[in-house]
Amino acid sequence: MSNAPDATPSEAWARWREDVDLGGYDERWAAMARAGQNPHGEADLVARFEPRSVLDAGCGTGRLGIELARRGVDVVGVDLDPDMIAAARAKAPGIEWHVASLAGLDLGRTFDVVALAGNVIPFVDPGIRSQAIAGCARHVAPFGALVMGASLRAGWPTTDEVDGWCADVGLETVERWSTWDGQPFGADSDYAVTVHRARSPRHPERS
């Protein structure tokens, strides 16, 4: 695993973390489940690809990765925040968790799906967001996909910017929705969930 250039959190991430209690952060999702709402929309979408392996990139406290592992998927989680990784490891010690940056990431393997759920790229320092995309892309297996969800806000990456960074590393944008449950994306959408696949002949799309 390389020592990547985003080893220091971005200013936006540091401000967010100052206001977040990790126990309360996890309780938010538990409260959704108790209220009869589905806290696992990201996992449901990723599961549609029938992956055997998933890299949970920017995994936080492990909500997505733990749910996918419960469904029988081989999961590896990566996050720059050691406290979040500690929380994930405490909940699911059987999963492989790494404190690491995404820019320059090299785990020595690939995955059927690389998932970035929860504003991962917007919280990367603006100067190295393209490198973080590249770090994720190198872990996408043949026939695999990079699935990314993020809010669309002033000063945060646009869909065109993200699509461009993906194109630079050989990934083609093939699907986009405004929610993890597949609502249509439009000009007024404030959230984007996008699927990128490799354009290489070694990575033909599944039917």
Contact by Cβ (8 Å): 175, 194: yes
Classify domain 11-25+36-198 at the CATH class level.
alpha beta
Banded model confidence at residue 32, pLDDT cuts 50, 70, 90: confident
With a cut of 90, say whether residue 41 has pLDDT above it.
Answer: yes
Tell me which residue of 107, 50, 53 sits closest to 78, measured CA to CA.
107
121-124 LR contacts (CB < 8 Å, sep 24+):
121/148, 121/150, 121/157, 121/162, 122/12, 122/150, 122/151, 122/153, 122/156, 122/157, 123/9, 123/10, 123/12, 123/13, 123/16, 123/58, 124/6, 124/10, 124/13
**Residue 56 contacts residue 64 (beta carbons within 8 Å):** yes
Predicted pLDDT at 134: 97
pLDDT average, residue stretch 165-184? 96
pLDDT at 203 over 60: no
pLDDT above 70 (res 53): yes
For 129-152, what is the mean pLDDT? 96
- Share of residues in the chain with pLDDT > 90 (%): 73
Alpha carbon distance, N-terminus to C-terminus of the chain: 34
Looking at residue 47, what is its pLDDT? 97
Mean pLDDT, the chain, whole residue set: 88
The pLDDT of residue 3: 43
Task: Please tell me the predicted confidence (pLDDT) of residue 75.
Answer: 98
- Over the stretch 104-126, which tens digit does the pLDDT of each residue have? 899 999 999 999 998 999 999 99
pLDDT of residue 207: 30
Specify burial of residue 140 (Cβ count, 10 A radius: 0-12, 13-18, 19+). buried
Q: Which of 4-8, 33-37, 181-185 has the highest mean pLDDT?
A: 181-185
Here the tokens at position 68 are 């996918």
Measured CA to CA, the distance from residue 95 to residue 76 in angstroms comes to 6
